[in-house]
Amino acid sequence: MARITASVYTSHVPAIGAALDLGKTQEPYWQKVFSGYEYSKQWLRENKPDVIFLVYNDHATAFSLDLIPTFAIGTAAQYQPADEGWGPRPVPTVMGHPDLAAHIAQSVIQDDFDLTIVNKMDVDHGLTVPLSLMCGQQDKDSGAWPCPVIPFAVNVVQYPVPSGRRCFNLGRAIRKAVESYDEPLNVQIWGTGGMSHQLQGPRAGLINAEWDKRFLDRLIAEPEALAQVPHIDYVREAGSEGIELVMWLIARGAMSDHAPAVKHRFYHVPASNTAVGHLILENT
Ligand code: DHB
Ligand code: FE
């Protein structure tokens, strides 16, 4: 049977992708951000999964106000990096895992979560920046990501957004789905986005380090209680884009009920407009 061995949590700031693509990683500003991922790249090399289930949000790239799925699972064989206005990032095509994705869709939908099935979509910085941070820069043509990826897009852009509780319970359903897949695959689940940031309006630039650090503590130690926090608290405390953090609860809900091993924790302000948070948890 397949199993979820570990979860990774990270911010997905688009400027991080630009810093990588434009060779700016050694600049003092960026060096501090990337220093938090040195251990992570080594860890991923040593703990290479067969599949990454990557929870992220689309930023009006693949979807628009024409069509807003709350939860969308990618069942395609491959996904192209999107053109977000400056041309597509020069990173490899993301290979999917249609068979496991279809199995998870079947199991999770039968478990009463309504997923949208997506057979064709481009993937934006929400997905490609976490891959770059964890895998290092890969050449578009000669490089490759280390394994297939199942993109799982969550609407946190257009209200109404899903609650933390629903996200946590969805994670549990994803765990059950993976554990009923009849092949011994090592699956990691990644939750991305956050931490505190607000990109527009009078509060643009908002960062709340205290709230972020408490979120990291609670995500590790008491995720089910953390999942009860209503969405309005994220917006008030962590800014309008801080709501991206509910996606971390999907990954956390997919972990075993035992306390996880904390392999890595990193927090840094700022990267662009955002507080960067990063965790690696292993199932014990
Ligand atoms: C920034 C952060 C995001 O999560 C995003 O989607 C876009 C921009 C930023 O910090 O600039
Ligand atoms: Fe974002």
Angle between helices 125-135 and 38-46 (to 10 degrees): 80
- Report the alpha-carbon distance of residue 57 to residue 53 in Å, rounded: 13
- For 68, residues 6+ apart whose C-beta sits below 8 A from its C-beta are 155, 157, 158
Write down the residue that tokens 């600049």 correspond to. 27
* Ligand 2 centroid – CA 1 distance (Å): 34
Q: Which residues pair with 264 in a beta bridge?
A: 280
Percent with pLDDT over 70 in the chain: 100
pLDDT of residue 225: 98
- The three-class DSSP label of residue 3 is strand
Contact indicator for 211, 233 with CB cutoff of 8 Å:
no
- Measuring from atom 3 of ligand 1, which residue has the nearest CA? 13
- Measuring from atom 5 of ligand 1, which residue has the nearest CA? 13
* Ligand 2 centroid – CA 184 distance (Å): 33
pLDDT digits (tens, 9 = 90+) for 63-75: 999 999 999 999 9
- Choice from 234, 245, 272, 278 to test ligand 1 binding pocket (greatest atom count within 8 A of CB): 272
The predicted model gives 46-57 an average pLDDT of: 98
* Ligand 2 centroid – CA 122 distance (Å): 16
pLDDT of residue 128: 98
- Report the alpha-carbon distance of residue 245 to residue 241 in Å, rounded: 8
pLDDT of residue 142: 96
pLDDT of residue 245: 98
- Report the alpha-carbon distance of residue 12 to residue 276 in Å, rounded: 8
Instruction: Kindly list the catalytic residues.
Output: 125, 197
Structure tokens at 223: 């995720």
Task: Tell me if 272 CB under 6 Å of ligand 1.
Answer: yes
pLDDT classification of 191: cutoffs 50, 70, 90: very high
- 198 alpha carbon, closest ligand: 1
pLDDT of residue 180: 98
Query: Which is the closest atom of ligand 1 to the Cα of 11?
Result: 4
Task: Tell me if 129 CB under 6 Å of ligand 1.
Answer: no
* Ligand 2 centroid – CA 234 distance (Å): 14
pLDDT of residue 264: 98
pLDDT digits (tens, 9 = 90+) for 194-222: 999 999 999 999 999 999 999 999 999 99
Edge-to-edge strand ranges of the sheet holding 274-282 = 116-118, 71-74, 149-154, 51-56, 186-192, 3-10, 274-282, 261-271
Query: Which is the closest atom of ligand 1 to the Cα of 126?
Result: 6
pLDDT of residue 178: 98
DSSP 242: G
pLDDT digits (tens, 9 = 90+) for 143-190: 999 999 999 999 999 999 999 999 999 999 999 999 999 999 999 999
Query: Which is the closest atom of ligand 1 to the Cα of 194?
Result: 4
Q: What is the residue-averaged pLDDT of the chain? A: 98
Residue 78: count of CB within 10 angstroms of its CB: 15
Residue 112, Ramachandran bin (φ over 0: left; ψ between -120 and 50: alpha; else beta): left
Backbone angles phi, psi at 195, to 5 degrees: -80, -130
- Measuring from atom 10 of ligand 1, which residue has the nearest CA? 273
Task: Tell me if 59 CB under 6 Å of ligand 1.
Answer: yes
- Report the alpha-carbon distance of residue 134 to residue 124 in Å, rounded: 16
pTM of the predicted structure, to 2 decimals: 0.98
* Ligand 2 centroid – CA 144 distance (Å): 24
Task: Tell me if 12 CB under 6 Å of ligand 1.
Answer: yes
